């Protein structure tokens, strides 16, 4: 790990194409698990569009041999209450460089970035069957607060949250396991009632919507 450096993509010689190649290699693990992540086939243009004008791409590389070993993207957004928060996505570590702490170091960099930018909390999501990713989140202090269903996948996703500012009672609640479990449970019930894993409505929700319409 001593040779590993983390920087914003623009400060390095790596291109979007290099980053997309790394993402494809890293997400093979998910294909083998039968989880159809859209990242498996993401193109350079799609990646660029996802990053957009306000996204920040971080990369981790070996200073000695120049190998690109990790990447992650983060955005700052505003929630319904106007509170600033961070959203982390497209985290990938090369299969040859796993369990060396690269993902955790990149997370530290992104959390520092969000602290400085004034984000109150940071969100992230991953498939409910993606064991290594779930463990990485939990080990690094994220709490599971929701269940989501995204179109064109074949899995439900956990929504993770890590609270950066803990000044008010409401903010401190999100650092509490018991509270987060309750929030998760309500979200999971709602999602399971309304959505299938691939984002379509369940039959039950479909009937309800038809009757209302
Ligand atoms: C998930 C992923 C990013 C982890 O990267 P990493 O650099 O190996 O993670 P770290 O070394 O920082 O690991 C931190 C902790 O996560 C957990 N963890 C990571 N990989 C694990 C695995 N294969 N099995 C069990 N726990 C694992 C461990 O608790 C680990 O701490 P430890 O090694 O001290 O026990 C990497 O496996 C990956 O790129 N996977 C495919 C793409 C992906 O799933 N991205 C995330 C989608 S949101």
Question: What letter does residue 9 receive in the DSSP assignment?
Answer: G
Residue 213 in this model has a pLDDT that exceeds 70: no
Verify whether ligand 1 is closer than 6 Å to residue 126 (CB atom). Answer: yes
For residue 136, give its domain range.
4-212
3-state secondary structure of 161: strand
Verify whether ligand 1 is closer than 6 Å to residue 74 (CB atom). Answer: no
pLDDT of residue 204: 85
Neighbours of 212 (CB within 10 A): 6
pLDDT of residue 152: 86
Going across the sheet that includes 84-93, the strands are 4-8, 56-62, 68-78, 84-93, 121-127, 156-163, 143-149
Q: What percent of the chain has pLDDT over 90?
A: 93
Exposed e or buried b per residue across 123-139, where buried means at least 16 C-beta atoms within 10 angstroms of its C-beta: bbbbbbbbeebbebbee
pLDDT of residue 90: 97
What is the tens place of the pLDDT at every residue in 1-13?
Answer: 679 999 999 999 9
Interatomic CA distance for residues 119 and 159, integer angstroms: 17
Do 183 and 160 form a contact (C-beta atoms < 8 A)?
no
pLDDT of residue 39: 92
What is the tens place of the pLDDT at every residue in 119-152?
Answer: 999 999 999 999 999 999 999 999 999 999 999 8
pLDDT of residue 153: 93
pLDDT of residue 206: 82
Verify whether ligand 1 is closer than 6 Å to residue 158 (CB atom). Answer: no
Give residue 195's pLDDT band: very low, low, confident or very high (50, 70, 90). very high
pLDDT of residue 163: 98
Closest CA to 89 of 36, 157, 178, 28: 157
What is the tens place of the pLDDT at every residue in 20-63?
Answer: 999 999 999 999 999 999 999 999 999 999 999 999 999 999 99
What is the tens place of the pLDDT at every residue in 76-106?
Answer: 999 999 999 999 999 999 999 999 999 999 9
| Centre of ligand 1 from the C-alpha of residue 61, in Å | 17
| Centre of ligand 1 from the C-alpha of residue 129, in Å | 13
Do 58 and 6 form a contact (C-beta atoms < 8 A)?
yes
pLDDT of residue 74: 98
Q: Whose CA is nearest to atom 20 of ligand 1?
A: 132
User: Which CATH number characterizes residue 117's domain?
Assistant: 3.40.630.30
Verify whether ligand 1 is closer than 6 Å to residue 100 (CB atom). Answer: yes
| Centre of ligand 1 from the C-alpha of residue 209, in Å | 40
How large is the average pLDDT for residues 63-76? 97
Closest CA to 88 of 56, 115, 65, 61: 56
How many distinct structural domains can be found in the chain?
A: 1
């Amino acid at each position: 790990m001593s040779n590993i450096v983390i920087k914003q993509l623009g400060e390095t010689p790596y291109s979007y194409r290099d980053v997309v190649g790394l993402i494809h290699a890293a997400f093979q693990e998910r294909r083998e698990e039968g989880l159809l992540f859209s990242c498996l086939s993401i193109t350079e243009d799609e990646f660029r569009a996802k990053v957009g004008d306000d996204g920040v791409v971080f990369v981790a590389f070996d200073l000695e041999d120049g190998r690109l070993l990790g990447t992650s993207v983060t955005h700052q957004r505003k929630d319904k209450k106007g509170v600033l928060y961070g959203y982390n996505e497209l985290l990938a570590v090369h299969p040859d460089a796993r369990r060396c702490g690269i993902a955790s170091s990149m997370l530290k960099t992104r959390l520092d970035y969000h602290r400085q930018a004034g984000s109150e909390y940071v969100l992230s999501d991953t498939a409910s069957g993606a064991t290594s990713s779930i463990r990485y989140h939990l080990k690094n202090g994220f709490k599971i607060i929701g269940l989501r269903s995204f179109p064109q996948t074949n899995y439900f996703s956990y929504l993770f949250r890590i609270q950066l500012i803990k000044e008010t009672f409401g903010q401190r609640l999100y650092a509490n396991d018991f509270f987060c479990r309750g929030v998760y449970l309500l979200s999971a019930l709602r999602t399971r009632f309304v959505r299938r894993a691939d984002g379509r409505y369940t039959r039950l929700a479909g009937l309800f919507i038809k009757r209302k319409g």
